[in-house]
Every structure is written in structure tokens, then in C-alpha cells.
Structure 1
Amino acid sequence: MSYLLVHEDREYLRAPGDELQTDLGVLAVPEDVEPGDVLETHLGEPFVVRRLRGPDLFNHFERTGAPMLPRDVGLVVGHTGIAAGDRVLDAGTGTGVLSAYLGRMHSDVVTYEIDPEFAEVARENMRLAGVADRVDVRTGDLTENLAEAVEDAPFDAITLDTGDAPAIVRRAPDLLADGGHVAVYSPFVENSRATVEAAREVGLVDVDTFETIQREMDFGSRGSRPSTAGVGHTGYLTFARSER
């Protein structure tokens, strides 16, 4: 399990035994470190140790692309009901934010990442999140490893962030446990439509697609209004379920 090392407005994610090197000095994180401890660099600068929380994964993981936003992770969990003890098949690992969130919920995750370098970064991120024992990051294209995934089935949920999601959804009946869910994220509505069509073709039920939008509020002396900065739109989430 990793911890945040905090000095004023600076935060660094480190695991016990790691070393932190900054312009404020160098410190080694003790193996027996606990939240609330204060560690000092060799220059005497203090860092407070803080327990890692879910949003910290999004803020501090090494990135190999645009990770899934916490709001989208929340929608995936809320619509699928993924919980402790569930088995999840994931594809399009990327940075690994979703997999790490699910692992921290004590789900067992098998996730496929096609890029070997991205997969290696994701494995390190799982180590930092303390979930390397629950998240199996596999290098490869899930569509080319479906026979392997079917052997590992059944899964309680399938979560996909890949352009070939419709092809995987067509195999969902062979992969899902009774009543299991599929959740597919896509930045493009065309891929979402293809996913919906694939889900209906193979008899999945409760097929729904949502655009994910979130607006930050500004509260100022002149009044209150949604912020004009930032991007409120993320993408599209499609959900479906096995009727067995």
C-alpha cells in the first residue's frame, strides 16, 4: 500500500521502501510508515503522511493516456453494482484507474492492455495502489484472447474502454455469470451505437446508453453559475445485462 507525502500544496505518491527526491531534499519512506507520521527530508523539510484514497489514484498515477475520470468510475460501479468478491473482465487498461478502483473495492480484476509499455506502467500503478494481488494486468488484445477469457469465465462484470468493444460484447453470453453486467465507455457515439446493436443481437437486456456530463459551479460575489472553464462532456457509457 502506498501513501501520499504532503508538503503544503505538493503531494507525492510513494510506497514503503521508496525514496522521494525533490528540491526540498531526499527522504526514504520507512517500511513501518503510518498515516499521520511526519517525515523529514535530509534538508529538514517536513512531509505529512496521508492515507491513499480513490481520487488520489487519478491525480498521481503515471499516465499513458487519458484515464477514466472518477465520475465515470462512479457511474460504472453504480450501474453494475460491482462489489467485493466479484470477478471483473476489463479491456483497455491504459493508466489503470478503473482497475485500481475496483481492486481497492476488493474485486478480482483481469485486465488486458494491448501496448506492452502501457501494461508495464499499469502494473506499477497497481503496486502503488496496493492491489497488485487482485488486479492481473495481461499484455494483449482481448479480442485475440477471448478463448483464454472464456476459460477464466464466468465474470460478474465486463468493463471495456476499447474501439473493438462490440466484438467483445457479442461474446458476453459466454463470459458473464447469471445476471452479470457489461459497461462500455466510448468517446464516440458511433461506437456506442455499435455496442448497443451487438448487445441486442446476443440477447442482453437492460441496454442503456448515457452521455456523461458534469459541470463545476462557480460561487462569486456577483452570483453563482456553472463554470465556463473546462470540459463538462466526457463520453458515452453503455450498460447491458445478462438475462440468465
Structure 2
Amino acid sequence: MTDAAYLLVHEDREYLLEPGEEFGTDLGVIDVPEDVAAGDTIETHLGTEFEVRELRGPDLFDHLERTGAPMMPRDVGLVIGHTGVKAGDRVLDAGTGTGILSAYLGRDDAEVTTYEQDPEFAEVARENMRVAGVSDQVDVRTGDLTEHVDELAEGDGFDVLTLDTANAPEIAARADELLVPGGFLAVYSPFVEATHDAADAVKEAGLTEIETLETIQREMDFSDRGSRPSTAGVGHTGYLLFARRP
């Protein structure tokens, strides 16, 4: 994996730029050298210094071009933690969207094949994978995964199947054909009804270790008066269903 872009930081300013790129700001023009590396310092033509940083996962969430609401880093963390995805694993994904999950998994050196039904979204995702430096790890395909299950099921099988798409229950129903023995399924949905349907589908498919989580977080506020959860309320993003092929 190689980094195609870097994060340039000055105080509260952050810009995602590539080697050789020229970018104008009110702090001056940033001219990124072709041989730029993390740890370098670049001065604008007005003398403002920017620190060059290697991209990390949260930077991808903050700066990649979006085609909708991407999966939150906390949800990505649950997917990685509950499936144990690792370098060399073969991952099949549906519902690429912006590609945040695929980029995270690619940066962990998993081999990801991801399907996106919208051709324009798929093209944005391919560019995002290039910017993230994971084009060699992530194959973004345009199409509906349900139309390719038969051919994919004839292969060697996938270690992990991740679904973030409206037809997830239909695909989950055939998870036993797509996964290797011991392989994991992860289904994300913002709606409980779709999650319930997916749970019914994986039970019918004979998967085990089925677990459903609502992903919520509470931010904490600290002050001289004391510590308490933020009054902003509980942050719900969605539901994650996990299951495993016996």
C-alpha cells in the first residue's frame, strides 16, 4: 500500500493534498513537492508553515469526497473488532457508497471486493480509494451483488461479508454459500426493520453466533463543576448485525 495523498495541517486548518499539487489559501499558496513525506514542513509563498502528516482512518472520514452518509469510524471499529478482519483476508462488501469501510479494510491489507449499484457513486469511490492509497487492495465494482452471488459462490469463499445496502437480507440469506467455514457476516442498517429481516435471513441460512447491536455513544463534558454526559443527547447511527458460518 502506498499513500497517494497527505494531510497538511496548520493550527485548525487541514488540507488533503497530493504530491505535485498546488493549492491556494488565504495563508498563501501551498506547493506540494513530488517527493513529499510525512514529517516534512512546507511553507506557503507567504511563509506560513504546514506540517505534513500521513493519512489515518479518521482523516479519510473527514476528507474523502462523499456520496451520502458514510459509515462512522466507531461503526467501522465494531465491524473490524467483531469480525477479526486481518491482512490477507478476502472481504466481499455491498453498498460501497463513499467507501469509508472499504478504505479502512484496505489499509489493514485485506483484499476487498465491493459492489456499488450507482455508477456515479462507484466512480467517486474508486477515486477515493486512489486518494487513500488502497487501489491495489480494493476492487470497486459497479453493480448489484445479488446478480453475482451465483458466480462468487463458486469461488474459494470469503473470510468476511459486509453489507450496507437495502437488499442486505437477500444477500445475507446466501451468506453460507459466500463465506468460508468460520467466516463472519456484518450487516449495517440505520433501521431496525431491515436489521430484523437480516437476522431472520441468517437464521434460515444456518449461521450461528448471531448478535445485534445498536451503535450509540455519549460524549462526556468536563468542567470545574463536575463531569457529566453531554446534553447533546445519545448519538444513534444504526444497527449492526453479526453472524458466523459454522
Q: Same fold (TM over 0.5)?
A: yes
Q: Which residue of 2 aligns with 1:144?
A: 147
- Measure, in 2, the Cα distance between the counterparts of 1:21 and 1:148: 49
Q: Which of 86, 94, 113 is the aligned partner of 1:110?
A: 113
Q: How does 1:1-244 map to 2 (within 5 A)?
A: 1=3, 2-229=5-232, 232-243=235-246
- Measure, in 1, the Cα distance between the counterparts of 2:146 and 2:22: 39
- Measure, in 2, the Cα distance between the counterparts of 1:90 and 1:212: 20
Runs of at least 5 residues in structure 1 that lack an aligned partner in the other structure = none
Q: Provide the secondary structure at the position in 1 that maps to 2:125.
A: helix
- CA shift for structure 1 position 117: 1.2
- CA shift for structure 1 position 31: 2.2
- CA shift for structure 1 position 77: 0.6
- Measure, in 2, the Cα distance between the counterparts of 1:186 and 1:29: 40
User: Does structure 2 retain, via aligned residues, the 8 Å contact 1:84–1:106?
Assistant: yes
Q: Provide the secondary structure at the position in 1 that maps to 2:237.
A: strand
Give the counterpart letter for 2:106 in structure 1: G
Q: Deviations over 1:41-65 (max 9, x none)?
A: 2333221101211111111111111
Give the counterpart letter for 2:203 in structure 1: R
- Measure, in 2, the Cα distance between the counterparts of 1:136 and 1:83: 17
Residues 4 and 230 (structure 1), Cα distance of their counterparts in 2 relative to 1, 3 Å cut: farther
- CA shift for structure 1 position 162: 0.7
Give the counterpart letter for 1:167 in structure 2: E
Q: Deviations over 1:105-139 (max 9, x none)?
A: 00000001111111111111111111010000111
Between the aligned residues of both structures, percent identity stands at 70
- CA shift for structure 1 position 153: 4.3
- Measure, in 2, the Cα distance between the counterparts of 1:126 and 1:71: 20
User: Does structure 2 retain, via aligned residues, the 8 Å contact 1:153–1:174?
Assistant: no
- Measure, in 2, the Cα distance between the counterparts of 1:153 and 1:230: 46
TM (norm. structure 2) is 0.94
- Measure, in 2, the Cα distance between the counterparts of 1:28 and 1:230: 43
Q: Provide the secondary structure at the position in 1 that maps to 2:180.
A: strand
- Measure, in 2, the Cα distance between the counterparts of 1:38 and 1:12: 14
4+ long deviations beyond 4 Å: none
User: Does structure 2 retain, via aligned residues, the 8 Å contact 1:64–1:94?
Assistant: yes
Q: How many residues get paired?
A: 243
Runs of at least 5 residues in structure 2 that lack an aligned partner in the other structure = none
Residues 44 and 230 (structure 1), Cα distance of their counterparts in 2 relative to 1, 3 Å cut: farther
